[in-house]
Amino acid sequence: MNGIILLIYMVIIVGRGESFFVDITYVESAVAKGAVCLDGSAPAYHFDKGSGAGINNWLVHIEGGGWCNNATTCLARRNGRLGSSKQMAKQIAFSGIFSNKPQFNPDFYNWNRLKVRYCDGASFTGDVEAVDPATKLYYRGARVFVAVIEDLLAKGMKNAENAILSGCSAGGLTSILNCDRFKSLLPISTNVKCFADAGFFINAKDVSGAQHIEQFYNDVVTTHGSAKHLAQSCTSKMKPSLCFFPENMVQAIQTPIFVVNAAYDSWQIKNILAPGVADPHGLWHNCKTDIKKCSTTQLQTMQEYRLEFLKALSGLMSAKSKGYFINSCYAHCQTETQETWSTNISPMLNNKVTIAKAVGDWFYERSPFEKIDCPYPCDKTCHNRIFDPQDNSLA
Ligand SMILES: *[C@@H]1O[C@H](CO)[C@@H](O)[C@H](O)[C@H]1NC(C)=O
């Protein structure tokens, strides 16, 4: 999308009242617990209070933003918004799953809604006591997670009737990896469920045949000391870093969980299937910016990726009270923007069911939702992503 179109689009969205700004809150009490961002600063979130019938319902949604896998990449991240609360915007726009209007967010608009800022670089799993004097990096994501939840309990979540841990991308992965931990931190009487948007990253080979993502996650887990905070049912059976992949631990999750993911997740295609290192001649470049520009062979490779994705997802089938919405779009994160969450032109499955409706029906047990789309390009409701060809960022 070019700048002017984006600007017009934003004016329309803001003008229609689809989003509003919410101030940042710093969790200063976390610092004494050593629960800090990569640079040692306090964790933070944006919080819009619930009202009416939603006053005791809590949506804790975790921000995404990739991972840092070694001291070099974590140092690069430390002085930005993904590593330091000092660099975060003081206000962010709430819409989609965060909307406070029933017409845009029918089931959660009056809940307490939080966006927890991502600032550790390991999906809130890290816990290293020592701080390297050379880099001054803190790998403390798992402590941050607990400290944020404790802060919210003190602010009223201890009386929660309903609670959801959700998130998108690396935050969606947090909601899978930390789902049972979240449940264990809440009162036994709270109805707790988890919901992951674009967080089901799979362990697939890249187009050169290398195990790129497996190596990358191995570095993340090693650097951040994440092993002891990953699911024990998994780490007792295989190398801890493999337990960073939902496919290897989701079977044992005890808390109800819902997965929303595009089968051709654009982050996964760009960074798992065809990362730059696996495509030195840039043959995938155009295809990654716009799925319409993929060659027949590339589309074939992506169809195989979809099948691998569905195979990886099969572990979820044995989990109890699960749900899933797997569409055939070229997309990544479909809950945080109004246009993909809940409008009459949003992505839909099963004859006009939006993501918002599928998740709401599942949460309130009005009806189950377990639906996998037919393969690309069958789905006409997709909002397929088109990336700026110059943009090589990972997020
Ligand atoms: C750190 O990770 C990046 C990204 O994977 C890689 O390019 C770089 O070589 C790594 N650096 C070290 C010192 O291992």
Per residue in 301-349, pLDDT (tens digit) is 999 999 999 999 999 998 878 999 999 999 999 999 999 999 999 999 9
Contact 127, 139 (CB under 8 A): yes
* Active-site residue identified among 39, 120, 180, 265: 265
> If pLDDT is split at 50, 70 and 90, which confidence band does 351 have?
confident
* Active-site residue identified among 169, 241, 266, 328: 169
Distance CA 272, CA 279 (A): 11
- β-bridge partners, 386: 290
Q: Is 361 an active-site residue?
A: no
pLDDT for position 320: 78
Ligand 1 neighbourhood includes 72 CB (under 6 angstroms) = yes
Q: What percentage of the chain exceeds 90 in pLDDT?
A: 92
Q: Does residue 34 carry a pLDDT above 80?
A: yes
Q: Does residue 256 carry a pLDDT above 50?
A: yes
- For the segment 88-101, the average pLDDT, to the nearest whole number, is 98
pLDDT for position 389: 85
> If pLDDT is split at 50, 70 and 90, which confidence band does 395 have?
very low
Contacts of 381 (CB under 8 A, 6+ apart): 327, 345, 346, 347, 348
Closest residue by Cα to atom 3, ligand 1, is 73
Main-chain dihedrals φ then ψ at residue 283, nearest 5 degrees: -65, -25
Sheet holding 44-48, edge to edge: 91-94, 20-26, 44-48, 112-116, 57-62, 162-168, 191-197, 257-262, 323-327, 370-372
pLDDT for position 250: 97
Distance CA 343, CA 266 (A): 22
Sole residue written with tokens 């390297």 = 132
Average per-residue pLDDT in the chain? Answer: 95
Contact 210, 278 (CB under 8 A): yes
> Residue 3 belongs to what H/E stretch?
helix 3-15
The amino acid that residue 252 corresponds to is A
pLDDT for position 353: 97
- For the segment 369-388, the average pLDDT, to the nearest whole number, is 96
CATH of domain 19-202+210-262+307-372: 3.40.50
The DSSP code sequence of 312-376 is: HHGGGGGSTT-EEEEE--S-S--SSSHHHHSSTTS-EETTTEEHHHHHHHHHTTSS--EEEPPST
Main-chain dihedrals φ then ψ at residue 166, nearest 5 degrees: -130, 180
CA distances from 312 to 117, 125, 141, 344 (A): 28, 22, 26, 31
- For the segment 95-102, the average pLDDT, to the nearest whole number, is 97
pLDDT for position 390: 80
Structural domain spans, the chain: 19-202+210-262+307-372
pLDDT for position 4: 53
CB atoms within 10 A of CB 218: 17
Q: Does residue 3 carry a pLDDT above 90?
A: no
pLDDT for position 132: 86
Cα(77) to centroid(ligand 1), Å: 13
Cα(156) to centroid(ligand 1), Å: 42
- For the segment 177-202, the average pLDDT, to the nearest whole number, is 98
Ligand 1 neighbourhood includes 110 CB (under 6 angstroms) = no
Ligand 1 neighbourhood includes 135 CB (under 6 angstroms) = no
8-state DSSP, 221: H
Ligand 1 neighbourhood includes 271 CB (under 6 angstroms) = no
- For the segment 43-62, the average pLDDT, to the nearest whole number, is 98
* Active-site residue identified among 332, 342, 346, 379: 332
> If pLDDT is split at 50, 70 and 90, which confidence band does 262 have?
very high
Q: Does residue 394 carry a pLDDT above 80?
A: no
Q: Does residue 7 carry a pLDDT above 90?
A: no
- For the segment 93-107, the average pLDDT, to the nearest whole number, is 97
